[in-house]
Every structure is written in C-alpha cells, then in structure tokens.
C-alpha cells in the first residue's frame, strides 16, 4: 500500500463522520486533460451545463497547466486548478480532497475517458456527491482492478464507444445520454460572444507554431524555413511558443535571423487576440492549433498519424471550414504516441514522411486566402 492510500483511508473515515451543513448544491466538472483538451471540451461544455439547476454554480476542475486555457470556457463557470503532479503529496492531497468534500456539490461530472484511480477519481470520491456521472473508462491493464472497483463511485456510466472514437463526438454522445437530447455534433468553434478582439497587427501576419511537448511530432527547421519563404515580402512571421521552447529546441533559433521573423511568447489568453488578428496559422498538432481553429482562424495543421480517429484530424462532422490537416496515412495510425518504429531524424516516421511539396502547396493556399 502506498502512503497516499493510507491518507485516503483516514480521509474516507473522516468524511463518514462529518456532517456537512445545508443541502448539496453546485456542479463540479472534472477534466484532467491538457491544454488542447480544454479547447475541445469548451465546444461541448454548454451541453453539459444543462445538468445544472437554475442559478447553480458550476465549477470546472482543470489540471493547473491546462487552467491557462480556462478563458475559452463559458463565462458563467468557475475554474478550479489542481496540480496533479502534487496530488500524491500528503499535505496537498489532504487539502485538495478536503476542499472538494466541503464544497458539498450536488452533482459531479467526470468528462475524461482516460482516468487514473488514484488521481482524478480520488476527487470524485472526495466530493461524495449524491449524483456522479462518467463514461466507462479507457481499458487499462495496469489499473483495471482499481477502475472496476471505482465504478461504484458513479450513479450513471455511459458506454461511449470503442477506444478509437473522436474525442468531441464521444463527449457529445455523453451529453446527449445525460440530458436525454439528440443534438447534432458541435463544430470546433467558439461562439461569437466569446471571441476576443483581434489584435491590431502592424502588417499582415502569419503565425507559426513548430514546437510540441512531444519533440517527435515536430517537423525540422528546414521545412519551416521553406514555409517562411512562401510568405509575401510585406508579411511578418510570428514564431509562437513558450519562452522555453527555443532553449529546448536551439536548432530553431536560426529561423529568427530570417527577415520579418520574430518570436511570440505571449500566454494563451493574449495569444488568442494575436491569432485572431493574423491572416493564418501553421502549426503542429498542439494546443495552439486547437485554439486557432476554435477562434475561426485559417489553420493548417502538420500532424502525425498518431491520433487519427481520436483527435486529429477532427471527425468531418465537427471540423470547421477554416481547418486543414496534413498527415501521412500509416497502417499503424492511431497509436496515440506509442510508436512501434524507431524515429527517423528525430521524428515519428509518419511526420518524417510528410511531403514538403504538399506542405508548401497547402501553405500557399492558406496565404492566398489571407491576402
């Protein structure tokens, strides 16, 4: 038994002996996904909000890193960040689980298909809400026994389909299951009322996001230099990323020596306005790409084949007209990053197989639309 399991046993006993005052009220939505998942969840979340009673507070619990994207969520919700990296530490775990318990929620909605019995599901147990809803979890050999036991935490479970199901379609089906409605799948697009004002940029601008937390998904600097070369001479290029990305990828620094190229390290809430003011975005499969698509910006995604059928490309029913995805089909596509093959020049083989001529043709089409 791990130390945090001993703590959980004690907290569980204390909750049984504690009577919370008043009636349960409020809705807790748990999403333990990353930044990109938060963008995608935002287009389905309004459907889940129908489960809240009039005037009831809705809290969306996000991983602390994903909370940086919380501004895309409907304005009536409250964002509660939790540092999942610290959630096994006694003092932090006790504090967070106790706060969730004391909030006395009426209903808990767990939106994740991929779940961890000791982390996000510990939050469901701590809430001890009269109602708790979730999807059947993604199969896991490592956690099968614990996940099966945790089914008792939920009052309703939804069978959301096979493991390779588009994420947004999975959520949309879950929302229909809970609300009893039958609605068309939502496009990945924020409502006009939530769109930030476009930034006033001094020249036509193309935003490039070549960086990924998974370096194997990145195309090489030579390709990005060719992409930059497609832009008209009067256009400016913003190389977007976290300020640490250039330190992690020093081979990309030479791109900043090209004419009209500058680094853009703005946080996502500020970057959103810059993206809306840009003529287009070219990005790897990352949160910036999902954000640009949801904002309605013409977007070209240079993707791996790892998430085909689940994330990128989006299912046709939810893909807006401003999104275009290039990827190399592979027999092994849909591996979710568990690549069977050795890297090629530091890339997944499917990324290395992207045809530069096809990429540059798609970039020229993107630029032509922005002129």
Q: How confident is the model at residue 5 (pLDDT cuts 50, 70, 90)?
A: confident
| Burial of residue 237, with CB atoms counted within 10 A of its CB: 0-12 exposed, 13-18 middle, 19 or more buried | buried
Using a pLDDT cut of 70, give the percent of the chain over it. Answer: 99
Query: Domain 3-179, what architecture?
Result: 3-Layer(aba) Sandwich (3.40)
Query: Domain 199-370, what architecture?
Result: 3-Layer(aba) Sandwich (3.40)
Q: How confident is the model at residue 8 (pLDDT cuts 50, 70, 90)?
A: confident
pLDDT digits (tens, 9 = 90+) for 255-293: 999 999 999 999 999 999 999 999 999 999 999 999 999
Domain with CATH 3.40.50.2000 in the chain: 3-179, 199-370
Considering the entire predicted model, what is its pTM?
0.96
Res 253 pLDDT > 70: yes
Q: How confident is the model at residue 4 (pLDDT cuts 50, 70, 90)?
A: confident
Q: How confident is the model at residue 334 (pLDDT cuts 50, 70, 90)?
A: confident
List CB contacts of 326: < 8 A, sequence separation 6 or more: 300, 301, 302, 303, 354, 358, 359, 362
Q: How confident is the model at residue 21 (pLDDT cuts 50, 70, 90)?
A: very high
**If we measure between CA atoms, which residue out of 290, 84, 58 comes closest to residue 167?**
290
Res 1 pLDDT > 60: no
pLDDT digits (tens, 9 = 90+) for 335-355: 888 898 899 999 999 999 999
pLDDT digits (tens, 9 = 90+) for 59-110: 999 999 999 999 999 999 999 999 999 999 999 999 999 999 999 999 999 9
Q: How confident is the model at residue 3 (pLDDT cuts 50, 70, 90)?
A: low
Other C-beta atoms closer than 10 Å to the C-beta of 329 total 9
**If we measure between CA atoms, which residue out of 305, 279, 304, 303 comes closest to residue 292?**
279
pLDDT digits (tens, 9 = 90+) for 147-188: 999 999 999 999 999 999 999 999 999 999 999 999 999 999
pLDDT digits (tens, 9 = 90+) for 124-146: 999 999 999 999 999 999 999 99
Other C-beta atoms closer than 10 Å to the C-beta of 139 total 9
Q: Quickly list H helices, the chain.
A: 3-16, 35-42, 45-48, 90-102, 120-127, 144-149, 167-179, 221-228, 245-248, 268-277, 287-294, 349-352, 356-370
**What is residue 336's predicted lDDT score, i.e. its pLDDT?**
86
Q: What is the mean pLDDT of residues 226-251?
A: 96
């Amino acid at each position: 038994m791990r130390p945090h399991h001993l703590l959980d046993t004690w907290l569980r006993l204390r909750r049984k002996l504690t009577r919370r005052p008043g009636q349960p009220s409020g809705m807790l939505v748990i999403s333990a996904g990353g930044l990109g998942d938060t963008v995608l969840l935002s287009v389905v979340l309004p459907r889940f909000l129908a489960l809240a009673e009039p005037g009831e507070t809705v809290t969306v619990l996000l991983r602390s890193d994903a909370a940086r994207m919380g501004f895309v969520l409907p304005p009536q919700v409250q964002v509660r960040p939790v540092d999942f990296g610290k959630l096994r530490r006694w003092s932090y775990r006790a504090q967070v689980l106790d706060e969730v318990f004391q909030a006395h929620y009426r209903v808990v909605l767990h939106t994740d298909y991929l779940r961890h019995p000791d982390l996000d599901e510990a939050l469901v147990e701590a809430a001890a809400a009269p109602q708790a809803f979730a999807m059947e979890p993604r199969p896991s050999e490592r956690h099968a026994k614990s996940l099966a036991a945790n089914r008792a935490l939920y009052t309703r479970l939804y069978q959301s389909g096979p493991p390779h199901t588009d994420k947004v379609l999975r959520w949309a089906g879950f929302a229909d299951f809970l609300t009893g409605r039958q609605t068309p799948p939502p496009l990945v697009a924020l409502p006009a009322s939530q769109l930030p004002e476009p930034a006033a940029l001094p020249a036509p601008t193309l935003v490039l996001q070549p960086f990924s937390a998974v370096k194997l998904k990145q195309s090489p600097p030579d390709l990005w230099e060719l992409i930059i070369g497609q832009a008209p001479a009067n256009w400016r290029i913003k190389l977007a990323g976290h300020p640490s990305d250039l330190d992690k990828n020093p081979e990309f620094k030479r791109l900043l020596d090209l004419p009209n190229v500058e680094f853009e390290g703005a946080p996502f809430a500020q970057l959103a306005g810059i993206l809306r003011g840009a003529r287009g975005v070219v990005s790897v499969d990352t949160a910036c790409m999902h954000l640009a698509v949801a904002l309605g910006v013409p977007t070209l995604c240079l993707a791996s084949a790892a998430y085909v059928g689940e994330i990128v490309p989006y299912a046709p029913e939810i893909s807006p007209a401003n999104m275009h995805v290039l990827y190399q089909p592979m027999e092994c596509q849909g591996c979710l990053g568990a690549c069977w093959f050795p890297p090629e020049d530091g890339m997944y083989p499917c990324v290395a197989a992207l045809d530069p001529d096809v990429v540059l043709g798609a970039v020229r089409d993107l630029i032509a639309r922005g002129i």
